[in-house]
Structures are given as structure tokens and as C-alpha cells.
Structure 1
Amino acid sequence: MSPDPARRSPDAENSDGERWLHAGRIGRPHGLDGSVHVTQPRVALLEQGRVLRVDGRDDEIVRRAGTDSRPIIRLASCTSRTQAESLRGRELLVARADAPELEEDEWWPEELEGCRVRDGEREVGVVRSLRPLPSCDVLEVAREGAEDLLVPLIRDAVRSVDVEAREIDVDLVFLGEEPAAPSADDPTAPPAADPAAPSADDPAAPPAADPAAPSADDPGP
């Protein structure tokens, strides 16, 4: 799962070796003191006192108002409506190292995007994005020469996630991408070949019975 799955933009890509998370984007000004609305908000990263990267420089949130769905913030360097208007559209970033710790089996979308996806030793593709759906988050996996694969972030579909190695191990059989091996208890499965049975090409094998030949139990005419 992921907290506030994100509408991440290419601006969040690393350019200095630091990992950055998308916290939102500056919207229209609010009032005259430099406060702004935040669009595409990730509220867990917008607390008062949080240091953000804005337009290539660090700035601090000194005011937090509004609601979680429509937050309003003011940055320390922004003290007028004119300054706020000049920042409109800028992306708000937070260093991954400064972000809140997540629960087990939770990841920020940026940590999963770009990860290699495999099933055991078999390469499957690369995570293109993380989609938030009502029931669970879903990985959109780009595959070479095939349509994108959607992988729900549930234990049956995802065996493991290694953020440091940038690898995700999935179960293609569960995802319906590979036929399951027939069970020994499956009555519709064809019988296994008897390794002791003679082959039709074995010269030492007795000749096949002629179905037209009379049976030994047939009294005849």
C-alpha cells in the first residue's frame, strides 16, 4: 500500500543524488500574506515546520490551514500575494530522508516507480506508475512487446518488494498470465504416462491386439 498515492510529475526526478517525494503543487494565492492553496496535495508531507524544496531552493512551511483535501500553506520566504502568484504552478518536494516513516508493507509511489518486476528469475517489466483504486493500489507494469500488466498490491500477487535493490517479485500464475500446473487430484487432468509401459517404437514390445481377431473366450461359430 502507499500513503496518499500520488500524482507524481517528472519534476520529482533526482538531479542531485537525493531522493525526492512529491508533496503537492502551488495553486492560487489565498489572502494577502503570501499564503497559497496546494493542488495535488499529499497531506502527510505538508505539516507546519516541514522543509520543502521549491524551485530549486529550500523553504519552510510556517502556516498550515484549510482542509486535508484543500490545504493552504504559507512559506517562510513568501510574504505577499504578488510573491505567491509568482510561485503558482511550482512543485513542492520533500527529501525522502525527511519524510515520515511508513508502516510495514507501505511505500511511497516514487520508491516503486522504475523498479524491475520479475517472477522468480523471469523478467516481466518495469513499474510505470502506481494507481490508487478503491479496493487497493495497483502497479502499472510496462512490458516489452506486450500490453501493460496491472498488479494489485496484495500478498497473493506480490511476493516481495525490495526498494533498495529496486526489484519486485510477482506471481504471474495468480495474475492469470501463466497457466497453473495441473493438480494430481484434478479428475480432468490426463493420466500420467507409465514409465514402465513399452513404447510403440520398442521392437521388443508384443504386437498390439487385433480388435477383429476372435477372443479366446469366444466359442466361435
Structure 2
Amino acid sequence: MGEPVIVGRIGRPHGIRGDVTIDVRTDLPERRFAPGAVLGRQRPGGPAGSAAAAVPTAGSDPGARTGPAGSADLSAASVLRVASSRWHSGRLLVRFDGVADRGAAEALRGTLLTIDSDESGPPVGDDDEDETDDLWWDRDLVGLRAQTSAGAALGEVVDVIHSPAGEILAISRSGGGEYLIPFVREIVPTVDPAAGRIVVDPPPGLLDLD
């Protein structure tokens, strides 16, 4: 089994029937959140390996306990199964098996959703015309040397932070502390795992530390 790869984060409930908004962390949302897809569940703030992938959801178990409104008790479930998904006003809305009301949806807020890197295949497939060359697993990035477009060394990528606003690269500084670099093409134009480096083209002030 490979390491969990985060593909989304559950946001606020939408409506009263159990739908939730998803903060998408993948370039392939239609595939990752297709009905029937099974996603690992990582507790907010939990370790990267806290999402198991071999235990069925309570909602798929005929003997699962249910709440007053018919929602399954998912407190011990380590995976969630997508019942339906749709786009609404630019947001992805997903309903999971066993989540039938707003209260159950609210209980999932902040949950990180993962896939298994071994089972998902490579992030980019040469034979898939719908995919791009800009999708990287966290493990591809951690450990890379960072330098500016002018060639100045910045440090090493030590973490990929999945924030509601998007991914942020944490780069350790030789003198202590970290640079926090938004992981967008305009600021990180080059990612070269084969060469063990990324290139950062920082806007004014980004590298200034107090």
C-alpha cells in the first residue's frame, strides 16, 4: 500500500440532504469524485498515514448504526464512498453514502480526502489526453532543492501545505525558519524532480522575513 495522497478537503454543508462542498486538490475531480469512488478519510490535523483504505464505510454496512435522521454513524469509518457529485456555481458538491442530513455533513467538515498513490497510478498518464503535466504528488516535491530564477539557493522543500487557498511549499532556510511559497506556475515555473530542484520566481516581498 502506498502513501495517502490528498485530493480534496470537505467544506461546509450545502442544503439539508447531506451534500458538502469540496475544496478540490486534484486536477482530475471528475475521476476522483465519481459516484462509487472510495476515498480515504484523514482527520484534520492528523498524520499523513492516518487515513486507512481497507475498512468499509459504516454507511455501506447494513448493520451500521444510524442517527435520528437516518444518517449512518461514520465516526469510526476510515473511508467514504461517493454517492453523487455535481458542480454548482463553480463549486464541487458531493454526497457520501451514509450522509443524509445537514448535521451529518457538518460533522465531516475539515476532513481531508485521500487516494492511495499505488492504486491511483501515476499523476500524469502519457496516454490520457485529458491530463496535464502539472500534477505532482507531495512525495515528488519534498526534498527538492529550491533556487531562484537568478540561481540563488533558497533551501529544501520540507513540506507541502494543503491550505483552503491552495498548495504552499514550505522551504527550509539554512539560517533557520522557512519560506512559504504558493505553488502556482507564476511563482514556481520549473519543477524538475530528475534534477532534484525547483525554480522560484518570487514577486517582490515574498522572500522577506521578519
- The TM-score normalised by the length of structure 1 is 0.48
User: In structure 1, what is the Cα distance between the partners aligned to 2:23 and 2:35?
Assistant: 17
1:53 paired residue number = 40
- CA deviation map 1:165-201 (0-9, x unaligned): xx71468xxxxxxxxxxxxxxxxxxxxxxxxxxxxxx
1:83 paired residue number = 104
% same residue: 23
Tell me which of 137, 141, 166 is aligned to 1:113: 141
**Structure 1 residue 130: deviation in Å?**
6.5
Question: Any conservation in 1 of the 2:10–2:112 contact (CA below 8 Å)?
Answer: yes
Question: Any conservation in 1 of the 2:27–2:135 contact (CA below 8 Å)?
Answer: no
* Aligned partner of residue 98 in structure 1, secondary structure: helix
**Structure 1 residue 74: deviation in Å?**
0.9
1:74 paired residue number = 95
User: In structure 1, what is the Cα distance between the partners aligned to 2:89 and 2:16?
Assistant: 22
Query: Gaps spanning 5+ residues in structure 2: where?
Result: 43-50, 52-77, 127-132, 148-152, 162-166, 182-186, 200-210
User: In structure 2, what is the Cα distance between the partners aligned to 1:59 and 1:144?
Assistant: 41
1:67 to 1:19, Cα distance in 2 relative to 1, 3 A:
farther
1:149 to 1:83, Cα distance in 2 relative to 1, 3 A:
closer
Higher relative contact order (CA 8 A, sep 6+): 2
1:32 paired residue number = 16
* Aligned partner of residue 8 in structure 2, secondary structure: strand
Tell me which of 19, 41, 57 is aligned to 2:3: 19
Q: How many residues align?
A: 142
- CA deviation map 1:87-143 (0-9, x unaligned): 112111222223364146544241333224289xxx973214569xxxxx9966433
2:155 paired residue number = 125
- CA deviation map 1:68-98 (0-9, x unaligned): 9410001113222221121112111222223
User: In structure 1, what is the Cα distance between the partners aligned to 2:91 and 2:154?
Assistant: 39
Greater C-alpha radius of gyration: 1
